[in-house]
């Protein structure tokens, strides 16, 4: 907004003032006024001293983050915003990493490991200022949470920003372990929850989360709710009567298809960072107003994160029309390719027949076959396989064998016996793009209901479905041990901003099948109407799959939503490093990074600056490695992929700051820790070879126009 001044000044002063006004209007030599972006709401800020509280560990330090006991609340059902923040950082940090010393915490990574990789005796607390605000269009319906952390070590003469968009459906602290790299480097970190988040709208009691995780009645919150399901009073009353004690989650039920905007909101986080940095460090004009001193021409900006947060970073790089991003370094990104990407993927000398499927496509496929495939004798020695069989194939609860039989009844399997059906289901997963190295992960992912959770959330989101639609008969609620819907414990709800992952089952909220033969019940315990047995809700899984493959109105709605999320492959010549674990069973490399790399080369040709690092013995969930008593065998088989994200970030920063060449595309062949499952020896540097500047010929990934060949 322009200002008018009526002050009597001498001619010389008037000349100076005129020059200042020209500068403020962009008419001088780079003196543009710093301006708050119009989409930003009220900006809250909080300083942290780096002792009692801090940006990275919420005051807990390296030791507190590793502690088995989570931080609590002074008043159990009335947590403060500070207490919720502390628990959110604790939960999200631990959800991303193996927190055991044997797995590398405290030696290879962790708050006490400095930017140069040196192990220090400190706790790794980082002083600085945290800024948080909603991005919205004025309706209060979007309210994407953006956050910027500026460490006290930030040096405007060496300005840098890193993005850390939340992974999965988590809240704004959902990529704190990526942000850690930036904080240690003295970079500002730009976070976005990308329109997702862990805290739900409690429809029965009509309470909603606020930006800081505290809860309020929907009426009192108004447009300041982080999420409101948007039902009319009549719709909500009818919904509660028909399906009481249910919850709506933002990712699933916002009606926004937030994935289409993940790139844009990541870019907004960068703009937010520039705004707060210039408010603090920008030069002043003669009127004392802050100027836009820090800008893309003098600031290094790296887009980063993991999983679909990494996908958001890639989308941001593709959509960056202002030159905000200098480089990209991401891990295991979720990327949606064009319907006909026109690429080929080879492993060794073999072309793979099924590649480049969307997340909702391959996940609904996994949702069908994974419970049955997990019984395959050929993978019976894999982590959790024995426990899976004992829990889901027992005489008392034979839901996995029942799923096998239901698939045969539906014409989706041909084998006659459960054992043969399980092997056939496993082979169908391999034929649909999962690498053989992923096979040993199916049992644990099935037991944790990963595929149904992701399928239901994304199906709702992409379809822009309302919670009242109960898409494919699914809803979210608390449940008894027997599976009956029940009110959620109050303590679980008040802390869910901190403890939830936004993709139920989570923090006591279960996935519910509303269409069970005996009424609504927890999904995997429900009895199907058609079969009369508990078969892991096969009708629901078939319904979700039909949304991807069918042609009815519901299917067309989802497919239209998918089309809004597809990426172009054009990174605009930005230097990029993607690291991905070969064994990833959640985001298989054949549907994500491998074909994206080929697409990028087809689109950008010789201008491409994308390097792909595929890491053997690495999968999607580093935190699972750190659960030796629950998931023995992860520790002996898998290495922490997080180390390679840090190395990719190091390489990208060195490239942008010092001109060092990026490493070429390659396979990094790690060495598993081995030993006895649950008792693997401590990891050593030798287990984690460096990303090579000149990889051996047998490790080079060859990329040509529209094609990628990855060595065995």
Which residues are marked as active site?
A: 307
Q: How far apart are CA 643 and CA 645, in angstroms?
A: 6
- Residue-level length of the chain: 712
Q: Name the DSSP letter for residue 296.
A: G
Q: How far apart are CA 165 and CA 190, in angstroms?
A: 8
C-alpha dihedral sign at 660, 661, 665, 670: negative
Which candidate, 255, 292, 265, 256, places its Cα nearest to that of 276? Answer: 292
H or E element, residue 543: helix 538-549
Q: How far apart are CA 548 and CA 697, in angstroms?
A: 40
Q: How far apart are CA 290 and CA 574, in angstroms?
A: 30
- Determine the longest span between alpha carbons in the chain, in angstroms: 98
Determine if residue 663 is left, alpha or beta; phi over 0 gives left, psi from -120 to 50 gives alpha, anything else beta.
Answer: beta
Q: How far apart are CA 514 and CA 485, in angstroms?
A: 10
Cβ atoms of 511 and 476 closer than 8 Å: yes
Cβ atoms of 294 and 648 closer than 8 Å: no
List CB contacts of 637: < 8 A, sequence separation 6 or more.
Answer: 383, 440, 617, 672
Q: How far apart are CA 277 and CA 188, in angstroms?
A: 8
Cβ atoms of 607 and 466 closer than 8 Å: no
Q: How far apart are CA 221 and CA 217, in angstroms?
A: 6
Q: How far apart are CA 551 and CA 217, in angstroms?
A: 40
H or E element, residue 447: helix 442-447
Q: What three-state secondary structure class fits 484?
A: strand
H or E element, residue 549: helix 538-549
Residue 170 phi/psi, 5-degree rounding, is -75, 170
Q: How far apart are CA 246 and CA 471, in angstroms?
A: 14
- Alpha carbons within 13 angstroms on the beta-carbon side of residue 561 total 25
Cβ atoms of 570 and 318 closer than 8 Å: yes
Cα dihedral 483, 484, 486, 490 in deg (nearest 10): -10
H or E element, residue 318: helix 307-319
Cβ atoms of 674 and 630 closer than 8 Å: no
Alpha helices in 122-232 (DSSP H): 176-184, 218-221
Provide the strand spans (E) within 524-622: 576-581, 610-615
What are the DSSP calls for 67-97, one per residue? -SSPP--SSTTS--HHHHHHHHHHHHHHHHS
Cβ atoms of 281 and 152 closer than 8 Å: no
How many other CB atoms are found less than 10 A from the CB of residue 284?
A: 11
Percentage helix, strand, coil for the chain under 3-state DSSP, each rounded to 5: 40, 15, 45
Q: How far apart are CA 89 and CA 422, in angstroms?
A: 40
Which candidate, 93, 116, 261, places its Cα nearest to that of 170? Answer: 93
């Amino acid at each position: 907004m322009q200002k008018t001044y009526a002050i009597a000044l001498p001619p010389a002063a008037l000349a100076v003032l005129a020059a200042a006004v020209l500068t403020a209007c962009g008419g001088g030599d780079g003196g543009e006024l710093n301006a708050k972006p119009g989409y930003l709401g009220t900006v809250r800020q909080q300083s942290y001293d780096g002792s009692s509280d801090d940006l990275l560990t919420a005051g807990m330090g390296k030791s507190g983050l590793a502690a088995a006991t989570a931080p609590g609340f002074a008043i159990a059902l009335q947590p403060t915003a500070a207490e919720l923040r502390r628990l959110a950082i604790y939960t999200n940090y631990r959800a991303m990493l193996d927190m055991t010393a044997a797995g590398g915490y405290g030696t290879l990574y962790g708050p006490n490991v400095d930017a140069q990789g040196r192990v220090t005796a400190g706790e790794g607390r980082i002083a600085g200022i945290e800024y948080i605000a909603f991005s919205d269009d004025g309706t209060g319906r979007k309210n994407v949470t953006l956050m910027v952390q500026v460490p006290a070590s930030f040096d405007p003469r060496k300005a840098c920003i890193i993005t850390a968009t939340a992974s999965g459906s988590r809240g704004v602290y959902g990529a704190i372990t990526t942000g850690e790299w930036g904080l240690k480097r003295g970079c500002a970190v730009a976070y976005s929850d990308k329109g997702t988040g862990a805290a739900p709208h409690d429809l029965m009691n009509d309470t909603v989360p606020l930006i800081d995780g505290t809860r309020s009645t929907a009426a009192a919150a108004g447009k300041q709710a982080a999420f409101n399901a948007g039902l009319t009073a009549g719709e909500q009353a009818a919904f509660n009567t028909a399906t009481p004690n249910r919850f709506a989650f933002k990712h699933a039920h916002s009606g926004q298809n937030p994935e289409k905007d993940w790139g844009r909101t990541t870019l907004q986080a960068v703009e937010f960072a520039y705004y707060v940095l210039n408010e603090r460090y920008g030069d002043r004009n003669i009127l004392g107003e802050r100027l836009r001193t820090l800008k893309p021409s003098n600031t290094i900006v790296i887009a980063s994160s993991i999983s679909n947060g990494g996908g958001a970073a890639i989308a941001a790089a593709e959509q960056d029309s202002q030159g905000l991003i200098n480089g990209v370094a991401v891990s295991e990104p979720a990327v949606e390719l064009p319907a006909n990407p026109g690429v080929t993927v080879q492993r060794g000398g073999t072309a793979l027949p099924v590649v480049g499927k969307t997340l909702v496509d391959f996940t609904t496929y996994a949702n069908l076959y994974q419970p049955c495939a997990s019984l395959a004798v050929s993978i019976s020695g894999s982590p959790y396989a024995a426990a899976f069989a004992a829990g889901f194939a027992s005489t008392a609860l034979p839901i996995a064998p029942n799923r096998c039989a239901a698939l045969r009844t539906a014409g989706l399997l041909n084998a006659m016996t459960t054992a043969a059906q399980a092997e056939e289901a496993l082979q169908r997963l391999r034929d649909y793009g999962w690498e053989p190295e992923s096979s040993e992960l199916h049992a644990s992912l099935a037991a944790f209901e990963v595929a149904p959770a992701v399928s239901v959330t994304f199906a709702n989101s992409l379809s822009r479905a309302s919670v009242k639609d109960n898409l494919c008969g699914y809803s979210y609620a608390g449940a008894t041990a027997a599976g009956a819907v029940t009110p959620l414990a109050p303590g679980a709800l008040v802390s869910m901003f901190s403890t939830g992952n936004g993709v139920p089952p989570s923090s006591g909220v279960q996935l519910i099948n509303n269409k069970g033969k005996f009424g609504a019940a927890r999904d995997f315990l429900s009895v199907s109407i058609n079969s009369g047995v508990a078969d892991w809700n096969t009708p629901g899984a078939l319904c979700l799959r039909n949304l991807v493959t069918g042609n009815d109105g519901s299917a067309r709605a989802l497919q239209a939503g998918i089309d809004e999320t597809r990426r172009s492959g054009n990174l605009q010549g930005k230097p990029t490093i993607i690291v991905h674990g070969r064994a990833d069973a959640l985001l298989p490399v054949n549907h994500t990074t491998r074909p994206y790399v080929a697409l990028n080369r087809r689109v950008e040709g010789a201008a491409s600056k994308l390097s792909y690092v595929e890491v053997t013995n690495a999968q999607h969930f580093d935190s699972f490695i750190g659960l030796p008593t629950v998931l023995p065998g992860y520790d002996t088989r898998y290495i922490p992929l997080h180390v390679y994200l840090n190395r990719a970030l190091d390489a990208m920063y060195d490239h942008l700051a010092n001109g060092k060449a990026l490493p070429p595309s390659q396979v990094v062949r790690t060495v598993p820790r081995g030993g006895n499952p649950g008792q693997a020896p401590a990891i050593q540097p030798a287990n984690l070879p460096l990303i090579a500047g000149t990889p051996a010929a047998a490790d080079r990934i060859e990329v040509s126009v529209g094609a990628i060949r990855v060595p065995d």
